[in-house]
Amino acid sequence: MPNIRILIVDDSSLLRDGLANLLAVQPDFEVIPSVDGALAASDLVRRVRPDIVLLGWPASSQGSQKVFSAIQEAKAASRVIMLTNDDTKQDFVEAVRQGCCGIVPKNTSTELLLKSIRKVNAGEFWLDRMTTADVIRKLANKAAGQGGPAPVAAPVAAPAPAPPTFQQPSVRLGVRDQAGALSNREREIVILVAQGFKNKEMAERMFISEQTVKNHLHNIFDKLGVSDRLELALYAVHHHLHEPS
């Protein structure tokens, strides 16, 4: 089996060297020389196309945005795991929007870090349920702060292909690449779920019965392979389905 090629990007040489030493002893890992600058990281992404990028900068930082842009421009299959501090929780929404596939605290255990790398490399997401809930809560609060969730407009374009599965340390579910199969009404409901609306509120807003909303949600869950509203909302954020076009 080919080694998982890992690029570590962070300002701290101590963290980079420590992680490199930790990961290098794993038989299925190949550690690419780590970097601390956005230009160097972007260049390596384009040239080497690592499988995993461990990114220690906040998602809203210019450095992180350059790395995500480099991945998109190079059409690389690199998958990003954000290494976060407790004080960067407000950045989780932006991380998911940018295309982050995993969020791991810098103080996590070695076992969970290794597991997250392998799971994300296998095409899964790695976020714990508390982080997932926090992302969705912040998204709903942001919409409320702007005078309430935006009205539903025309459906957004079909997103890029989704990874086949979603991984949380405590929960695993299949996420199928079926966003393009959603009907216009189903896409409207996805937007409202991600913006924090309840079933009754969606029914009143869309002039349909609450049972019809439930039926649509059942169909959406089945098409996307998600099992509850939190997972649906996170899927929507990651694939830019949470905002009207």
pLDDT score at 50: 94
Is 138-238 CATH 1.10.10.10?
yes
| Domain residue ranges of the chain, discontinuous segments joined by + | 4-126, 138-238
Tens of pLDDT, residues 36-78: 889 999 999 999 999 999 999 988 889 999 999 999 888 888 9
Question: Which CATH superfamily does the domain covering 4-126 fall into?
Answer: Response regulator (3.40.50.2300)
Which string of b and e fits 113-131 if b means at least 16 CB within 10 Å? bebbbbbbbebbbbbbeeb
Give 243: exposed, middle or buried? Use CB within 10 Å, 0-12, 13-18, 19+: middle
| Token reading at 120 | 């994300």
Answer yes or no: same fold for 4-126 and 138-238: no
**Predicted pLDDT of residue 149:** 46
Which residue ranges in the chain fall short of pLDDT 70?
A: 1, 86-90, 129-130, 139-179, 242-245
